[in-house]
Chains A and B, each alone.
Chain A
Amino acid sequence: DVKVTQSSRYLVKRTGEKVFLECVQDMDHENMFWYRQDPGLGLRLIYFSYDVKMKEKGDIPEGYSVSREKKERFSLILESASTNQTSMYLCASSLSGQQQETQYFGPGTRLLVL
């Protein structure tokens, strides 16, 4: 079974703090993704990575950065957290070169920025 884990289920931070969200997958997947999910807005892609040290912007990259130093780990960084970044953050991974490109998700991190 594919396993995608995220470092925290719940996180509370203050405005202006630097926040690290970590994601690890154990299935040797090339592709990894960070989404945020908000009521009424659905799932929105922040960044994705298709290889180590490679990254691509998604729909809403502003205020975020990412790091992929190892294949199994994809980190999302909020350089200076703001209240509008309060959200559910979801990491996903998928195998490259597969026609169907099924994405497997982690359990999510619910971030509250005060």
Chain B
Amino acid sequence: DAKTTQPPSMDCAEGRAANLPCNHSTISGNEYVYWYRQIHSQGPQYIIHGLKNNETNEMASLIITEDRKSSTLILPHATLRDTAVYYCIVRAFNAGNMLTFGGGTRLMVKP
């Protein structure tokens, strides 16, 4: 799986959009971009994934650049409950069934 680079921490004001960047310059054509988050002392939670088109669901939006070398997870109206570590992962189909989390970005939503 391709390596990803994320800032170690970010702050966001409650109610504002949180934009979390991820660099994956070595991504291959068959690799998807996944985002998970982990709230303190809980299991990771799947957020969203995409291949090359922008994606949106009830939790977030995922914007992938045209060259696919970077992406941004957008939480449109951050709440205090969105405070968590956010992990960006790139992985291919049938990539040994294993998920590998890097350091992630610790997002702190402040009132």
Known interface pairs A42-B102, A58-B98; A100-B93 also in contact (CB < 8 Å):
yes
Range, interface on chain A = 20 to 34
Whether the Cβ atoms of B41 and A103 lie closer than 8 Å is: no
Whether the Cβ atoms of A107 and B97 lie closer than 8 Å is: no
Expressed in whole angstroms, the Cα–Cα distance for A42 and B34 within the complex equals 16
The minimal Cβ–Cβ distance linking A1 to chain B, given in whole angstroms, is 11
Q: Is A102's beta carbon under 8 Å from chain B?
A: yes
Q: Is A101's beta carbon under 8 Å from chain B?
A: yes
Q: Is A43's beta carbon under 8 Å from chain B?
A: yes
> Chain A 89-104, CB within 8 Å of chain B: the 1/0 string?
0111010000111111
Whether the Cβ atoms of B99 and A43 lie closer than 8 Å is: yes
Known interface pairs A108-B41, A108-B43; A101-B98 also in contact (CB < 8 Å):
no
- Secondary structure at the B interface, as helix, strand, loop or mixed, is loop
Q: Which chain A residue lies CB-closest to B32? A: A100
Expressed in whole angstroms, the Cα–Cα distance for A45 and B44 within the complex equals 14
Q: Is B45's beta carbon under 8 Å from chain A?
A: yes
Interface size of B by CB at 8 A reads 18
8 Å CB interface, A1-55 against B: 4, 31, 33, 35, 37, 42-43, 45, 48, 50
Inter-chain contacts of A99 with B (CB < 8 A): 93
Whether the Cβ atoms of B43 and A102 lie closer than 8 Å is: no
Expressed in whole angstroms, the Cα–Cα distance for A31 and B102 within the complex equals 22
Q: Is A105's beta carbon under 8 Å from chain B?
A: yes
Q: Which residues of B contact A (CB under 8 A)?
A: 32, 34, 41-46, 49, 93-94, 97-103
A33-B97, A108-B41 known, 4 other contacts, Cβ within 8 Å: A35-B99, A100-B32, A104-B46, A105-B44
